[in-house]
Copies of this chain bind each other. A is one copy, B any other.
């Protein structure tokens, strides 16, 4: 029996809260949380309770997607994003120089410097600043999360996985450099991420650098991206509750794990205490699901040109997506709720310092690609 179809409303999902249909349950239907990640990641998955009312922090009026005005301060998000992306790009460019030219290095530069949105590095830097650190402490980790993200895309695009032709508005890496180079340059890029954090982080106690590396490793190890990528290939014949469970299993790993590592690494490097780290971990898990809900919506509502990658692939592949399983309007509503939950986790921090993460949350929610 399929529990959901495109006509099911968000409210209609609630009566299924206590229906146990498998070894794990979707956050969209479960109030008692049970998930394979539970025993392996530091804290349980995101909020099992019903969606909360927006917290006071999240009620800061947003006049547009680009400009957020709080009571006593003006925050120009567009300028902020441009400035941070530019700083990250410069740092990446410096690190992946062409001092010793090689095909591997050229291939890495091609994909890494192709102008991604740099959302993960920004989350890392913003989390660092939120807890009192300055950008320079987290910049190597910010670069590292972008490296890990880029290598996962390079490998995901390969013929044996997604066989994609376009990425970030250009031919995919293997289309430009061939499969062997795209494969092995991805490997090198993953190693560089760790080398960079270990070798370039300054003015941070070594214990925190080690802890950061552990978080980064976990995001792309057995509990992270690759396991999500593989599970994503096994989507056939799944619908209803099973489909939702599987989809969230995939997303928590394929997208969520690295977003979590981005935020948590920034917090660790910025000097956060354990309580702050755990709050920001919960924040990041809301962001992780939010990111994917929006990605699913964009995949069916935008063109390839607008996205900079092949649009409509989920439909072509008949993959489980939020719009397919709960309908597009419910997907939009759930995105709004996740947006509120994320902001609620920031409630205990200095409101002025939370502006960047709030703005990034809204950017992820309302972005056009």
Q: Contact residues of A with B, CB < 8 Å?
A: 36-37, 39-40, 96, 99-100, 102-105, 108, 151-152, 155, 158, 160-161, 179-181, 183-188, 190-199, 205-207, 209-211, 213-214, 216-227, 229-231, 233
User: How far apart sit A211 and B199, CA to CA, in the bound complex (Å)?
Assistant: 7
A227 to B: closest C-beta gap in Å: 5
Docked-complex contact B39 and A99, CB < 8 angstroms: yes
Docked-complex contact A195 and B218, CB < 8 angstroms: yes
Docked-complex contact A211 and B188, CB < 8 angstroms: no
Instruction: Write out the residue numbers on chain B whose beta carbons fall within 8 Å of the beta carbon of A194.
Output: 194, 213, 216-217
User: How far apart sit A36 and B98, CA to CA, in the bound complex (Å)?
Assistant: 12
Docked-complex contact A102 and B230, CB < 8 angstroms: yes
| Given A40-B100, A209-B206, A161 contacting B180 (CB threshold 8 A) | yes
Docked-complex contact B226 and A184, CB < 8 angstroms: yes
A291 to B: closest C-beta gap in Å: 20
Docked-complex contact A188 and B100, CB < 8 angstroms: no
Residue of B nearest to A186 (CB): B187
Interface centre among A196, A209, A213, A216 (most CB of B within 10 A): A213
Docked-complex contact B192 and A179, CB < 8 angstroms: no
User: How far apart sit A205 and B222, CA to CA, in the bound complex (Å)?
Assistant: 27
Instruction: Write out the residue numbers on chain B whose beta carbons fall within 8 Å of the beta carbon of A40.
Output: 99-100
A226 to B: closest C-beta gap in Å: 4
User: How far apart sit A180 and B226, CA to CA, in the bound complex (Å)?
Assistant: 10
Docked-complex contact B161 and A226, CB < 8 angstroms: no
Docked-complex contact A217 and B233, CB < 8 angstroms: no
Excluding A104-B227, A160-B183, 13 further A-B contacts by CB distance (< 8 Å) are: A36-B100, A96-B222, A102-B227, A151-B187, A161-B183, A186-B187, A188-B222, A190-B191, A191-B226, A192-B217, A194-B217, A195-B216, A195-B221
Docked-complex contact B100 and A226, CB < 8 angstroms: no
Docked-complex contact A210 and B198, CB < 8 angstroms: yes
Residue of B nearest to A196 (CB): B217
Residue of B nearest to A151 (CB): B187
User: How far apart sit A192 and B40, CA to CA, in the bound complex (Å)?
Assistant: 14
Instruction: Write out the residue numbers on chain B whose beta carbons fall within 8 Å of the beta carbon of A233.
Output: 180
User: How far apart sit A216 and B199, CA to CA, in the bound complex (Å)?
Assistant: 11
Docked-complex contact A183 and B183, CB < 8 angstroms: yes
Instruction: Write out the residue numbers on chain B whose beta carbons fall within 8 Å of the beta carbon of A195.
Output: 213-214, 216-218, 221
User: How far apart sit A337 and B165, CA to CA, in the bound complex (Å)?
Assistant: 51
Instruction: Write out the residue numbers on chain B whose beta carbons fall within 8 Å of the beta carbon of A108.
Output: 222
Instruction: Write out the residue numbers on chain B whose beta carbons fall within 8 Å of the beta carbon of A105.
Output: 222, 227
User: How far apart sit A221 and B190, CA to CA, in the bound complex (Å)?
Assistant: 8
- Say which residue of B179, B181, B184, B210 sits within 8 Å of A206 (CB atoms): B210
Interface centre among A96, A100, A196 (most CB of B within 10 A): A100
A224 to B: closest C-beta gap in Å: 7
A230 to B: closest C-beta gap in Å: 5
Instruction: Write out the residue numbers on chain B whose beta carbons fall within 8 Å of the beta carbon of A37.
Output: 100
A96 to B: closest C-beta gap in Å: 8
Residue of B nearest to A181 (CB): B230
A117 to B: closest C-beta gap in Å: 22
